[in-house]
């Protein structure tokens, strides 16, 4: 894997997706792992256009549409450093959990990778949805 700037969430996402590319031989479902580009800084015109196109604030960053352990799929809100979830992100995570998805907040790419591996390969170790992974 190449080096990534790990001082923000985008670097952690890049590292996670690089890890996922290497792991597809063990976990073919990772081909369908994807990022929902709802965050980030944009100019006002772009933000307005994206909102009209259906972008919604608070939707979790990462989605894995693979059924495991009675869950319809996995949603991850990825954080870095001291960032915390907003009220809107918490609302989305709770709604998705109630709809039968495994949801979690991961505080670095390694925690997200560990969760994904556990979700796909060791479901008995998952624990309850709505967990926080990797918080220091």
pLDDT digits 0-9 by tens, 94-134: 999 999 999 999 999 999 999 999 999 999 898 888 888 88
Greater confidence (1 vs 43) lies with 43
Cβ proximity of 38 and 56 under 8 Å: yes
Q: How many CB atoms lie within 10 A of CB 87?
A: 8
- pLDDT tens-digit profile of 42-71? 677 877 787 788 778 899 999 999 999 999
Question: At 20, is the pLDDT very low, low, confident or very high (cuts 50, 70, 90)?
Answer: very high
């Amino acid at each position: 894997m190449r080096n990534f700037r790990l001082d923000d969430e985008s670097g952690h996402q890049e590292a996670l997706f690089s890890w996922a590319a290497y792991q597809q031989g063990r976990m073919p479902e990772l081909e369908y792992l994807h990022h929902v580009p709802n965050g980030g800084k944009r100019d006002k015109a772009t933000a307005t256009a994206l909102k009209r196109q259906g972008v919604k604030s608070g939707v979790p960053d990462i989605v894995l549409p693979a059924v495991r352990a009675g869950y319809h799929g996995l949603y991850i809100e990825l954080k870095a450093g001291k960032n915390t979830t907003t009220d809107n992100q918490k609302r989305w995570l709770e709604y998705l959990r109630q709809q039968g998805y495994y949801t979690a907040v991961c505080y670095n790419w390694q925690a997200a990778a560990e969760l994904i591996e556990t979700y796909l390969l060791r479901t008995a170790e998952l624990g309850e949805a709505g967990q926080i992974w990797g918080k220091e």
